[in-house]
C-alpha cells in the first residue's frame, strides 16, 4: 500500500523559512517522479514542485520559483520541500504526491505574524 | 501550461441519480508513448484527494464500479452511475502528460 506521510508544518512568520518532509513507503520510491501540491483554505489544488526520479530535474510554478526547493533522498525514500521567504499567500495545506495519483494526508503551513 | 476546464462547478444530485462531469484540456493529453495521463480525484470534506480513475478510464483498486471515466484527446468525462451519499465532495481532473501536471478547478457534488 502506498503511504506518504508529511511532517514539518506549522506557524511561521513572513520572510522566514520552513522545511517539509515526506516519508514514502509501499512502493519503489526511486522509480517515481514526486511532487508537492498545496491547497489554500477553501481553495482548489495548486501544484508547487515536481522532481524527477534521480533528482536531477526540478520544476516550479512562477509563484514559488526562486523561493522553494524540492529535493529527495532515494536511499531514505524521502521527499523534501525547503520553503524560503515565506509569504502570507503560501498559507495552505501541503500534500506530498506520487505523480498525480497518490497523496499524503497533508501538513498545514500558516504564514502569519 | 495545460489548462483543464472542468464543468459544471457545482452539481446537486439525489441518491441514485446518475451524473457526469466534463474536463476539457487546452491541448491533447495523448502522450508520445500512447498513454493518456488523465486522472480523476475525489476530495471528501476534510480529507486529502484520493484517486478514482487513472489513464482516463481505469478504475483504481477499491473504487466502486459506479464510477467510470471516458474520453480521449482533449475531452474527458467522469460518470457516477447511481450517486450515493458517500460520493459528496469535490472532484478534480488532473493531467500529467505535459509537465507540469495541472488540475481542473473542481466540481463540487452536493447531495439533495
CB contact under 8 A, B100 and A95: no
Band of the pLDDT at A48, cuts 50, 70, 90? very high
Select the residue of A45, A59, A101 nearest B103 (Cβ to Cβ). Answer: A45
Distance CA B92, CA B103 (A): 7
- pLDDT for res A33: 92
The interface residues of chain B toward chain A in range 71-110, judged by CB-CB distance below 8 A, are 90, 92, 94-96, 99-103, 105-106
What's the gap in Å between the CA of A10 and the closest CA on chain B?
18
Q: Are strands B107-111 and B4-7 parallel, antiparallel or unpaired?
A: unpaired
Considering only residues 4 to 43 of chain A, which have any Cβ-Cβ distance to chain B shorter than 8 Å?
A: 35
Nearest CA in chain A to B100: A59
CA dihedral A95, A96, A98, A100 (to 10 degrees): 20
Q: Note which residues in 12-51 of chain B have CB less than 8 A from chain A.
A: 37, 39, 43, 48-51
Q: Along the 112 residues of chain B, how does pLDDT read in single tens digits? A: 899 999 999 999 999 999 999 999 999 999 999 999 999 999 999 999 999 999 999 999 999 999 999 999 999 999 999 999 999 999 999 999 998 889 999 999 999 8
Main-chain dihedrals φ then ψ at residue A57, nearest 5 degrees: -120, 135
Is any Cβ of chain B less than 8 angstroms from the Cβ of A64? no
Contact, A110 vs A14, CB < 8 A? Answer: no
Instruction: Quote the minimal CA–CA distance from A18 to chain B in Å.
Output: 21
* Band of residue A100 on the pLDDT scale cut at 50, 70, 90: confident
Nearest CB partner across the interface for B94, out of A95, A100, A105: A100
Residues B31, A94 contacting (CB under 8 angstroms): no
The helix/strand/coil state of A90 is: helix
**What's the count of helices (H) and strands (E) in chain A, helices before strands?**
0, 11
What is the average pLDDT score of chain A? 96
Amino acid at each position: 500500500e502506498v503511504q506518504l506521510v508529511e511532517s514539518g508544518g506549522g506557524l511561521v512568520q513572513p520572510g522566514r523559512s520552513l522545511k517539509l518532509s515526506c516519508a514514502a513507503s509501499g512502493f519503489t520510491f526511486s522509480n517515481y517522479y514526486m511532487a508537492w501540491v498545496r491547497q489554500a483554505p477553501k481553495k482548489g489544488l495548486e501544484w508547487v514542485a515536481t522532481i524527477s526520479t534521480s533528482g536531477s530535474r526540478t520544476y516550479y510554478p512562477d509563484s514559488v520559483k526562486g523561493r522553494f526547493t524540492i529535493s529527495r533522498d532515494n536511499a531514505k525514500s524521502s521527499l523534501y520541500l525547503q520553503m524560503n521567504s515565506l509569504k502570507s499567500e503560501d498559507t495552505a495545506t501541503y500534500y506530498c504526491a506520487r505523480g498525480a495519483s497518490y497523496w499524503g494526508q497533508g501538513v498545514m503551513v500558516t504564514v502569519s505574524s | 501550461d495545460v489548462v483543464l476546464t472542468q464543468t459544471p462547478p457545482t452539481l446537486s444530485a439525489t441518491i441514485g441519480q446518475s451524473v457526469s462531469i466534463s474536463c476539457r484540456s487546452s491541448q491533447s493529453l495523448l502522450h508520445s508513448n500512447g498513454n493518456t495521463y488523465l486522472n480523476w480525484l475525489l476530495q471528501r470534506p476534510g480529507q486529502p484527494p484520493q484517486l478514482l480513475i487513472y489513464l482516463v478510464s481505469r478504475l483504481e483498486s477499491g473504487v466502486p464500479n459506479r464510477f467510470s471515466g471516458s474520453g480521449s484527446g482533449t475531452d474527458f468525462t467522469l460518470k457516477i452511475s447511481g450517486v450515493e451519499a458517500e460520493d459528496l465532495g469535490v472532484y478534480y481532473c488532473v493531467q500529467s502528460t505535459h509537465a507540469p501536471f495541472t488540475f481542473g478547478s473542481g466540481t463540487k457534488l452536493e447531495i439533495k
